[in-house]
Amino acid sequence: MSDTDKKLEAQSVEKNVNINSRPSELKITDMRIASLCKVPMDCSIIRIDTNQGISGYGEVRDWASKTYALMLKSRIIGENPCNIDKIFRKIKQFGFHARQAGGVCGIEMALMDLAGKAYGVPAYQLAGGKFRNSVLCYADTPSKDDPVEMGKALKQRMEMGFKFLKMDVGIDLVADIPGALSTLPEMLGTRHIMHPFTGIQITKKGVDKLVEYVGTVRDTIGYEVALAADHFGHINVESCIRIGQALDQFTLAWYEDMIPWQLTDQWVRLSRAVTTPVCTGEDIYLKDNFKPLIENHAVSVIHPDLATSGGILETKKIGDYAQEHGVAMAMHMAGSPIAALASVHCAAATENFMVLENHSVDIPRWNDLIDGLPKPLIRNGYIDVPETPGLGFTDVNEEAFREFCDLRDPGYFEPTDIWDKESSHDRLWS
């Protein structure tokens, strides 16, 4: 067959193939942002555009400034979005713990969406393939002061099909009970002082009231579903141990974020003092910063949020490293369906994954923010892993986006040319 005939045959084959793009020639040409309110938290959605007309979407984590992403625009323009690791290594120095990682992580999600679309494969394939076809979700449920009402609210979640639940069990429930806490009044409700430095301690009376509260909830929902506990308050590790030992009898799934994640030695003390698994991680950025907790067996469950931890591929690395040390991985998620789907692909590709958080069960239009997937996304307590390219949805829904629009920043993927020239000397060595 002549070279001409070979070329004609190749062209004939291409006519019958749906070619999304030519990945080797793909280039990033633009990045724009739309800000959303109460999905359930405020967040910003990134859209990265290319020279071949395909776009990828990511999310800047709840309450994080969109500036964390916009400052990186000039550093990714012209790059091939399929070179995900190369771009991540280029920009990861601009992330930090908690919300400050939002820009880096949102861009990584969008790159995974783009690369999947370019090659015509779901994002989980780019992370090595999948271990499961559906991802178990847990429903976070707003607190109620009355344990009977709390039990009823959780029971309603079970009737919706959820098989894993979470509630808050903290000093807020006993703050108005005389003698339940030993503290200076001005320290109650603090969010800006690290737990060991507030001086707040819970008394036996306070502990007994929490036991009564959780016992009532368990009597209502039984033990057929897993029930985790969160938001204990800014109290010292000794108070955490008192609460934990008292609540161990209720076989909770885990105690979450009892103390700041940075305090590995205190997590070791706590984990050795209680028989319930302990869990943290939603504010930690990059695998290296999970290592102290994992290597010291300070937690039984890590709980990264891929909108904080570094995106899909980095979070899979975190999960794999935890698995080597016998630690399970659950995932925090309090964002839009875009962050949820990025989490689903990561969860599908991570063997020791347990369960994915969702705060949006009570937001009817949450599912309408994206098109191209079944609605609702969560069915009978699970999200099916999409088999469609990228994160799996076909496009965002402009009408729904505008309904959730942040009135302080009402634009819908408006031009961001002002950030095109942003630059600095980024090199980390001399």
**CA–CA distances in Å: residue 77 to residues 103, 152, 219, 362:** 15, 51, 57, 38
Q: What is the pLDDT of residue 63?
A: 84
pLDDT band at 4 (very low <50, low <70, confident <90, very high): low
Domain check: are 173 and 297 in the same one? yes
Q: Using an 8 Å Cβ cutoff, are 322 and 295 in contact? A: no
Domain check: are 44 and 189 in the same one? no
Asked whether residue 339 is assigned to any structural domain, the reply reads: yes
Asked whether residue 315 is assigned to any structural domain, the reply reads: yes
Tell me the pLDDT tens digit for each residue of 349-384. Answer: 999 999 999 999 999 899 999 999 999 999 999 999
Looking up tokens 């599912």, which residue turns up?
Answer: 367
Q: What is the pLDDT of residue 259?
A: 96
Asked whether residue 384 is assigned to any structural domain, the reply reads: yes
Q: What is the pLDDT of residue 16?
A: 41
Asked whether residue 7 is assigned to any structural domain, the reply reads: no
Domain check: are 190 and 321 in the same one? yes
Domain of residue 362 covers 126-395
Cα 320 to Cα 351: distance, rounded to the nearest angstrom: 8
Domain check: are 147 and 100 in the same one? no
Domain check: are 356 and 307 in the same one? yes
Cα 44 to Cα 123: distance, rounded to the nearest angstrom: 21
Asked whether residue 341 is assigned to any structural domain, the reply reads: yes
Q: What is the pLDDT of residue 121?
A: 97
Asked whether residue 402 is assigned to any structural domain, the reply reads: no
* Res 247 pLDDT > 80: yes
Domain check: are 90 and 228 in the same one? no
CA neighbor of 250 nearest in space, from 110, 119, 151, 137? 151
Tell me the pLDDT tens digit for each residue of 392-426. Answer: 999 999 999 999 998 888 899 999 999 998 888 89
Q: What is the pLDDT of residue 395?
A: 97
Tell me the pLDDT tens digit for each residue of 297-327. Answer: 999 999 999 999 999 999 999 999 999 999 9
Q: What is the pLDDT of residue 13?
A: 40
Domain check: are 361 and 348 in the same one? yes
Domain check: are 186 and 117 in the same one? no
Domain check: are 38 and 77 in the same one? yes
Alpha helices by DSSP H, 222-263: 237-247
Domain of 53: which CATH number?
A: 3.30.390.10
Which residue type is seen at 225? Answer: V
Asked whether residue 207 is assigned to any structural domain, the reply reads: yes
Domain check: are 102 and 164 in the same one? no
* Res 3 pLDDT > 90: no
pLDDT band at 62 (very low <50, low <70, confident <90, very high): confident
Number of folded domains that form the chain:
2
Alpha helices by DSSP H, 18-146: 67-70, 73-76, 84-91, 102-119, 123-126
Asked whether residue 232 is assigned to any structural domain, the reply reads: yes
pLDDT band at 12 (very low <50, low <70, confident <90, very high): very low
Q: Which whole number is the average pLDDT over 157-165? A: 97
Domain check: are 174 and 275 in the same one? yes
Domain of 158: which CATH number?
A: 3.20.20.120
- For β-strands 353-358 and 328-331, DSSP reports them as parallel
Domain check: are 193 and 331 in the same one? yes
Cα 422 to Cα 73: distance, rounded to the nearest angstrom: 8
Q: What is the pLDDT of residue 17?
A: 41
Tell me the pLDDT tens digit for each residue of 254-313. Answer: 999 999 999 999 999 999 999 999 999 999 999 999 999 999 999 999 999 999 999 999
Q: What is the pLDDT of residue 51?
A: 96
Q: What is the pTM of this model?
A: 0.93
